[in-house]
Amino acid sequence: MIRMNTQYAELKESYLFFNIAQKTQAYLRENPGKHLLRLGIGDVSQPLCPAVIDALHDAVNEQAKKESFHGYMPECGAPYLRETIAAHYGRRGVTLSADEVFVSSGASDELGDILDLFDKSSAALVIEPAYPAYVDANIMAGRRIVHLASGRENGFLPMPDDTADADIFYICSPNNPTGAVFGRAQLQAWVDYANRRGAVILFDAAYEAYIEDETLPHSIFELDGARTCAIEICSLSKTAGFTGTRLGYTVIPKTLERGGMNLHAMWVRNRTTKTNGVSCILQKGGAAVFTDEGRAQIRKQIALYKHNAKTLTDALDKIGLWYCGGKNAPYIWLQCPDGTDSWTFFDLLLRNVQIVGTPGAGFGRCGEGYFRFSTFGDPDDTAEAARRIAALLG
Ligand code: PLP
């Protein structure tokens, strides 16, 4: 008889966004026509920039002509895009060869697929509060999970110690949901610890484009020793509005070896078996992000989201609520007032000022008592939300 992966029965209901949707729908049924100010889900509100749109149109037109038509693309990515991304790292002082860059359909796919490289018996360390996919992907694979709680006392940036008894370390910096960013010395401590233990760091850099303090590392490969312990997973979703278009990239150094195996070679084998590459049209669009024109245009877009962040943090400063993030990250993580729990605070904001945020409890147990605002929303709605928060809690 067929045997199913019973690990799926171990997954908790995707309670967070489901519950948010249920509560907001119920509110709208009771209050038809009310406009909700959505600071909850981490999706972008601005369209793709003109440089990307032009490149996408050109790429579609190429597909219409026999002489420029592309069939299957190389599985690990178009050479021109791999070179472009390696050159992007080079501008930050990180030397990569183009074939250490793998073009992907986005970070979510990679965060799940990359686990193919590791045996089921290897344990995964998840720093919480955390992006929920890390935990779920490892539950599906039947892997032991070590939850490392962080909190206000360490600025949501915990340091490694021997309780971090795991083989695969998830580090997300800038962090979703807390907006906290590891400094160089802190990240170096994780790199050194991973090398000492023989662990592998999965470094989620989905929000690196939001770093404005140039002393903070954008890439784990800015740290000494990262080439022997880390994989970096990146995305154009929040950098350039590709959430619906789908494009990302993953860096695996050729020097990364564990258990006598080379992880770069393993991933080449994995990709050539399990994918036929990313759409040539999207890769052309993605390459436009890294041109001078594209970079200038996405900087403007990121500035708009940063303006949203400033609007919200100004209101929080006025009220005197504790928060982190919002400066080098598109998320603001605040402590709910007066010891309120995060779902009660969610209801309070929804019912009194029609603001939808995300309760911290959805990101792990230590997220209880905290709340996440996304800064990806519409600027007018964000400004109105800031006014209402100040009036309600000020
Ligand atoms: N990693 C983190 C921390 C995220 O917050 C997200 C999306 O919100 C992703 C990865 C997924 O990004 P992508 O759209 O590239 O799949």
162 pLDDT above the threshold of 90 = no
Predicted pLDDT at 42: 82
248 near 235, Cβ under 8 Å?
A: yes
* 13-42+294-393 under CATH 3.40.50.10710, yes or no: no
Predicted pLDDT at 61: 98
Going by the DSSP 8-state scheme, the letter that residue 10 receives in this structure is G
357 pLDDT above the threshold of 80 = yes
- Name the residue among 364, 308, 320 with its Cα closest to residue 38: 308
Handedness of CA 90, 298, 112, 163 (dihedral sign): positive
31 pLDDT above the threshold of 90 = yes
* pLDDT band (50, 70, 90) for residue 161: confident
Going by the DSSP 8-state scheme, the letter that residue 127 receives in this structure is E
* pLDDT band (50, 70, 90) for residue 16: confident
pLDDT tens by residue, 311-320 = 999 999 999 9
Nearest atom in ligand 1 to 107's CA? 15
Predicted pLDDT at 13: 73
Torsion of CA 205, 208, 214, 219, to 10 degrees: 30
Mutation test of ligand 1: which of 41, 108, 178, 358 has the most ligand atoms closer than 8 Å to its C-beta?
Answer: 108
| H or E element at residue 380 | helix 379-393
Residue 39, burial from CB neighbour count under 10 angstroms (0-12, 13-18, 19+) = buried
The CA distance from 179 to 363, in Å, is 13
14 pLDDT above the threshold of 80 = no
How far does the centroid of ligand 1 lie from the alpha carbon of residue 234, in Å?
A: 8
* pLDDT band (50, 70, 90) for residue 164: confident
Nearest residue (by CA) to ligand 1, atom 12, is 107
- Name the residue among 87, 44, 387, 93 with its Cα closest to residue 245: 44
Structure token digits, residue 309 = 């962040």
The CA distance from 381 to 253, in Å, is 43
Predicted pLDDT at 246: 98
200 near 167, Cβ under 8 Å?
A: yes
DSSP string across 344-389: HHHHHHHHHH-EE-EEGGGG-GGGTTEEEEES-S-HHHHHHHHHHH
Ligand 1 pocket by Cβ (under 6 Å)? 42, 106-108, 131, 172, 176, 204, 206, 235, 237, 243, 248
Cα atoms in the 13 Å half-sphere on the side-chain side of 145: 22
Nearest residue (by CA) to ligand 1, atom 1, is 206
Predicted model pTM: 0.97
| H or E element at residue 292 | helix 292-319
Mutation test of ligand 1: which of 103, 182, 235 has the most ligand atoms closer than 8 Å to its C-beta?
Answer: 235
- Name the residue among 123, 223, 136 with its Cα closest to residue 173: 223
Mutation test of ligand 1: which of 181, 202, 238 has the most ligand atoms closer than 8 Å to its C-beta?
Answer: 238
Structure token digits, residue 135 = 């935990």
| Identity of the amino acid at 125 | L
174 near 326, Cβ under 8 Å?
A: no
Nearest residue (by CA) to ligand 1, atom 8, is 42
How far does the centroid of ligand 1 lie from the alpha carbon of residue 345, in Å?
A: 25
Please provide residue 248's backbone torsions phi and psi, each rounded to the nearest 5 degrees: -155, -175
Q: Domain 50-290, what architecture?
A: 3-Layer(aba) Sandwich (3.40)
* pLDDT band (50, 70, 90) for residue 18: confident
The CA distance from 338 to 130, in Å, is 24
* pLDDT band (50, 70, 90) for residue 27: very high
How far does the centroid of ligand 1 lie from the alpha carbon of residue 376, in Å?
A: 13
Predicted pLDDT at 83: 98
* pLDDT band (50, 70, 90) for residue 305: very high
Token pair 């008889």 in the structure block, residue: 1
The CA distance from 345 to 366, in Å, is 16
Q: What are the domain boundaries of the chain?
A: 13-42+294-393, 50-290
